[in-house]
Structure 1
Amino acid sequence: NINSLVWNTMRFKPPPTTDEIGWRIEFRPMDLQMTDFENAALSTFIALLTRAILSYNISTLIPISKVDENMERAQKRDAIHTAKFYFKKVISTDQRFNKSSEIVEDQTDNCEYCLMSINEIMNGSTKFFGLIPLVEHYLDELEEIDVDTRYTLNQYINLIRKRADGTLLTDATWMRQFVQSHPSYKQDSIVTDEIQYDLLWKIQEISNDGAKCPSVILEKMTTKTNLDVYH
């Protein structure tokens, strides 16, 4: 079905016959997070990344087979910190966004992609520029932003940076640890009604600012923008 060209976290949308807007790509990579701040951070980062990609003519294309392999790796426990994923080595002809040569070579193919950790992909390394530095470069160079909005964007980016480098837990890791440390859990893979209730109650408290969770989101991570999202 040409109207449903979906590969895991992306969808290719063909141009409508009545318009000249061309092909479009939808990003679909996110799970719902516990707090509004986390959801806003991920949504905003994706929007900024797409702008940076378009502005600097960035290419992160790799074979679909490697995307599928990345998805298989991503489903394993704590893959964000323990797994490596195929990613393009050189993302731009602009030397500002390129660093030297090899990281971890794919031993089966001599090609333009290699294996990197999420921390390397997001935060960069001595050999790869990184998606977060790319977005920050875009904000510094091309966007005119007031102080409060830039503060908020910096906090969003900081959350993603610290998730990628392991400073902060992902929601999935936090929930797993909550269950494993619950007094009623018997290390038998059975999550009882009591554990489920306590977990959901704790998430509700965190999402409504009734409880702090510094292992997931730092207390100083706040927004200075005053947008009423309900009106």
Structure 2
Amino acid sequence: MVLLTRAMVTFKLNFLVPLTKVAENFTPAQKRDAITKEKFHFRKNVQQEVADCKLTDDIYTLMTLNEIINGKDDFPGLIPLICKYLDHVDYDSSKRPKIMQYLKYLSDKAAGKIMTMAQWTRQFVTNHEEYKNDSVVSERIAYDFIMECEKIVNSEGRFPEAFIRS
């Protein structure tokens, strides 16, 4: 988030969208698999000066999170803007590989290559031997889930591989 903020300040990026559209974005955001299946109101041209900004209907469009994060034909994407910023300021080369690893993770998540926590949780429950397709999460399923989460937190589990789609 800090790098995006720095890119915004350095390149004078403008992410203003009418508040009504921000509120409308909450509806699709709550749907299952919204990260890959829904579209959100987002500004078409983030490089337009704030002073020139008029909040009219032609300044925003519907985009998937993948398009917002990774870009599309006529929109650069947030991660490419961050990379442009890193190149512009000649960022510390010793820290760059780690930053690029994080950006790739976010890029892959937006592209649907990595499961969200909600997707992974649903998959864990529905694949559990005790699950009966009745929407009931038994104590054993809940316990096994917590134990799997603990393994991941303690780096004993399959992270990030656990979240990568096969």
Q: Does 1:54 align with 2:9?
A: yes
- Identity rate of aligned residues, in percent? 40
C-alpha separation in 2, matches of 1:66 and 1:48: 25
Unaligned runs of 5+ in 2: 50-55
C-alpha separation in 2, matches of 1:144 and 1:131: 17
Q: Does 1:89 align with 2:44?
A: yes
8 Å contact kept, 1:84–1:116: yes
CA RMSD of aligned residues (A): 1.7
8 Å contact kept, 1:159–1:217: no
Which of 86, 96, 99 is matched with 1:139 structurally?
86
Question: For residue 26 of structure 2, what is the aligned residue in structure 1?
Answer: 71
Displaced runs of 4+ in structure 1, greater than 3 A? none
Q: 1:93: Cα distance to partner?
A: 3.4
Q: TM-score, normalised by structure 1?
A: 0.65
Unaligned runs of 5+ in 1: 1-45, 95-108, 219-231
C-alpha separation in 2, matches of 1:173 and 1:143: 37
Which of 204, 207, 220 is matched with 2:150 structurally?
204
C-alpha separation in 2, matches of 1:50 and 1:144: 15
Q: 1:110: Cα distance to partner?
A: 4.0
Deviations 1:161-199 (A, max 9, x none): 000111111111111110111111111111111111101
Q: Does 1:117 align with 2:72?
A: no
Q: TM-score, normalised by structure 2?
A: 0.89
Size of the aligned set, in residue pairs, is 158
